[in-house]
């Protein structure tokens, strides 16, 4: 598979099975993610995209009765190893959720939350982190005069960029996004998509999206999920033009889903 | 198109409904106004008809309405009420909030199956039972441990703590449950531990207005409780010297003395003044609650 061989792969999932109680939600997933690229996970609702994404920062640990087989390696370290430091893992693998979920605090405190949690108290340093994170999230110019006002006062798109900034403030390497624009209007969506292109220069981004145009526009690689399996994985440009699998073609041409 | 009779029918029903609800609402409002008017006129008569000075009433320490001349210093009652209210809230708030967090965040299953029914039971127990238990268990215990008579402010505080604990707990459970899962997950996903998340997101932020409300409602209940407190507090009219001194509260002052006074007398009116004070405090509690819930929404 020469076309898939690009720079460097940082995340490897192999033979991954996941069960919610007795219900298997993921079947033998084998996927690797390229450093400094955007990978899109597409597929109809309920096919396991979120479930897979939440394996990568072990958010599924919070759900009772979840059982996981196989392994996920980040930089060759098994993140499900009993000795894994989950705090460290989650600092390294940030997550942006479907609905913008700023904390009920000021804009400043939202960004400073992560660094503070991890023990940073120095005001100067916090100020710097807040500014640089908001810069990276392309929000600084819009909010620099009201850092100490409630985050709830921002528009949906601004809130989602704030949340991205909040993730960037803990200096992750990988950013997971679960349908980050599905609750946003087209203009806000465009602002987040634009940001993605900026982010991939410094981060590895894995984004679940319901929106095929978004995957086609914003991602470098795409994995197509169906019923808990990965049907096809490849360069986005190739997968959307010449899918190898019939089921992929049916999905991207809108025949189901 | 509906037929004319049908239209008439629904008009008729709607009319009856409107009248009924309006009448009910009016009765409620009139009753409330009447009660306020009654308490206020009686309670104010102390100062306007009987010539007791308001200052003496509020900060005087001598309570001897039947003396010659009568002394109307209600400070011991006022102080007693405030100390037991604040004291029981100080004990019950951390316990109640801690229990609520245990029930919702730490062990929802035990919370649902064991704690919830226990709390509902505790809410339903009549206050005389709490007073009786306080009287037969707590008072001897305090007497044996600290000496003295056992009847004391501390006994009042402890009985009230147990009484308001279920109120504070169940309201706190509601408040904690209202915290969106999104916010907790966002905090955990940033690498926060479970306790950091509980403390920073749930307690200090999202449910803070709800928790404050729970505490204030608990305090309102403590402030207004008469029977159970009266059974354990000792009912003396001296300013308490320590938590182990017997004392009194506005409510127990009223219930214990109301029967012994002649309507219209200065003594009787002074009890109404204490009632008026309770009413005003209740009003303040309500205003506080409204203010907090408004700020919580913002
Ligand atoms: N917490 C959960 N408990 C039990 N089953 C779940 C849970 N979350 C998701 N599932 C099930 O797992 C499957 C995949 O869901 P999900 O990963 O949310 O799909 P997607 O994100 O692709 O829409 C679905 O059948 C869903 O019902
Ligand atoms: Mg999903």
Q: Tell which residue, A175, A50, A181, has the closest CA to residue B190.
A: A175
Going residue by residue through chain B (298 aa), what tens digit of pLDDT does each one get? 445 566 677 777 788 889 999 999 999 999 999 999 999 999 999 999 888 899 999 999 999 988 888 899 999 999 999 999 999 999 999 999 999 999 999 999 999 899 999 999 998 999 999 999 999 999 999 999 998 899 999 999 999 999 999 999 999 999 999 999 999 999 999 999 999 999 999 888 888 889 999 999 999 999 999 999 999 999 998 888 899 999 999 999 999 988 889 888 889 999 999 999 999 999 999 999 889 888 776 5
Chain B, nearest residue to A99 by Cα: B182
B254 inside domain: yes
Name which CATH class applies to A9-252.
alpha beta
Contact B46/B60 with Cβ under 8 angstroms?
Answer: no
Q: Which structural domain range is residue B203 located in?
A: 82-261
Domain boundaries, chain A: 9-252
Q: How far is it, in rounded angstroms, from Cα A194 to Cα A164?
A: 13
A52, two tokens: 């897979």
User: Using a 6 Å cutoff on CB, does residue A19 contact ligand 1?
Assistant: no
Instruction: Flag whether B9 is in a domain.
Output: no
Structure tokens at A219: 């991602």
Residue B290 resides in a domain: no
Residue nearest to atom 26 of ligand 1 (CA): A46
Cα distances from A210 to residues A245, B164, B192, in angstroms, run 19, 50, 29
ipTM computed for the complex: 0.92
Nearest-angstrom CA–CA distance, A197 and A219: 9
Whether residue B139 lies inside any domain: the answer is: yes
Where residue B206 sits, what CATH number does that domain have? 1.10.3720.10
Q: Sort out which chain B residues have CB atoms less than 8 A from A97's CB and list them.
A: 182, 185-186, 189
Ligand 1: distance of its center to the CA of A197 in Å?
A: 29
What single string gives the DSSP state of each residue in B95-112? HHHHHHHIIIII-HHHII
Indicate if the alpha-carbon torsion angle B141, B144, B149, B153 is positive or negative: negative
Instruction: Return the structure tokens found at B168.
Output: 């504070």
- Annotate A137-159 with DSSP letters as a single string: TT-HHHHGGGTTSBGGGS-HHHH
Q: Does B129 map to a domain?
A: yes
User: Can you tell me the distance from the alpha carbon of B189 to that of B187, in angstroms, rounded to the nearest whole number?
Assistant: 5
- Whether B29 is in a domain gets the answer no
Which of A230, A225, A164, A233 lies closest to A200, judged by CA?
A164
Rounded CA gap, B226 and A15, in Å?
Answer: 68
Judge whether B62 lies within some domain. Answer: no
pTM of the model: 0.83
Nearest ligand 1 atom to alpha carbon A54:
17
Structural domain total, chain B? 1
User: Which of the residues A59, A79, A104 would you substitute to probe the B interface, choosing the one with the greatest number of B C-beta atoms within 10 Å?
Assistant: A104
């Amino acid at each position: 598979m020469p076309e898939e061989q690009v720079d460097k792969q940082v995340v490897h999932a192999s033979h991954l099975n996941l069960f919610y109680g007795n219900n298997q939600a993921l079947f033998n997933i084998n996927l690797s993610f390229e450093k400094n690229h955007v990978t899109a996970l597409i597929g109809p609702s309920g096919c396991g995209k979120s479930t897979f994404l939440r394996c990568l920062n072990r958010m599924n640990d919070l759900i009772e009765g979840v059982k996981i087989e196989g392994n996920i390696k980040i930089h060759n370290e098994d993140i499900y190893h009993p000795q894994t430091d989950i705090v460290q893992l989650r600092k390294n693998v940030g997550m942006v959720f479907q609905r913008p979920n700023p904390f009920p605090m000021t804009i400043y405190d939202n960004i400073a939350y992560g660094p503070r949690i991890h023990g940073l108290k120095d005001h100067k340093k916090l100020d710097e982190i807040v500014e640089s994170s908001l810069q990276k999230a392309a929000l600084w110019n819009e909010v620099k005069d009201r850092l100490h006002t409630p985050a709830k006062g921002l528009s949906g798109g601004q809130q989602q960029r704030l949340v991205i900034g909040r993730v960037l403030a803990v200096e992750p390497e990988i950013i997971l996004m679960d349908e980050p624009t599905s609750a946003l209007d087209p203009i806000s969506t465009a602002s987040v998509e634009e940001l993605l292109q900026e982010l991939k220069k410094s981060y590895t981004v894995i984004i679940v999206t319901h929106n095929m145009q978004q995957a086609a526009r914003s991602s470098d690689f795409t994995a197509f999920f169906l019923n808990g399996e990965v049907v096809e994985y490849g360069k986005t440009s190739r997968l959307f033009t010449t899918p190898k699998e019939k089921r992929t073609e049916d999905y991207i041409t809108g025949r189901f889903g | 198109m509906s037929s004319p009779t049908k239209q008439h029918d629904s008009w008729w029903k709607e009319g009856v409904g409107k009248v009924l609800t309006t009448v009910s609402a009016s009765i409620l409002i009139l009753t409330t106004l009447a009660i306020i008017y009654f308490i206020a006129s009686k309670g104010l008569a102390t100062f306007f008809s009987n010539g007791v000075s308001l200052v003496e009433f509020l900060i005087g320490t001598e309570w001897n309405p039947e003396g010659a001349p009568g002394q109307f210093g209600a400070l011991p009652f006022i102080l007693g009420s405030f100390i037991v209210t604040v004291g029981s809230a100080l004990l019950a708030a951390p316990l109640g909030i801690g229990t609520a967090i245990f029930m919702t965040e730490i062990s929802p299953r035990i919370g649902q199956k064991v704690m919830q029914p226990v709390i509902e039971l505790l809410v339903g127990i009549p206050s005389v039972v709490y007073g009786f238990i306080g009287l037969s268990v707590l008072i001897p215990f305090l007497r044996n441990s600290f000496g003295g008579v056992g009847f004391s402010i501390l006994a009042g505080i402890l009985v009230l703590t147990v009484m308001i604990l279920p109120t504070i707990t169940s309201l706190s459970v509601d408040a904690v449950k209202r915290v969106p899962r999104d916010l907790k997950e966002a905090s955990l996903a940033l690498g926060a531990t479970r306790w950091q998340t509980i403390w920073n997101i749930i307690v200090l932020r999202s449910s803070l207005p709800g928790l404050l409300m729970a505490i204030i409602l608990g305090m309102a209940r403590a402030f207004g409780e008469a029977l159970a407190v009266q059974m354990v507090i000792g009912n003396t009219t001296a300013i308490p010297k320590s938590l182990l001194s017997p004392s009194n509260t506005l409510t127990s002052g009223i219930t214990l003395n109301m029967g012994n006074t002649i309507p219209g007398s200065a003594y009787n009116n002074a009890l109404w003044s204490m009632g008026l004070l309770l009413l005003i405090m209740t009003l303040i509690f309500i205003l506080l609650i409204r203010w907090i819930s408004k700020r919580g929404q913002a």
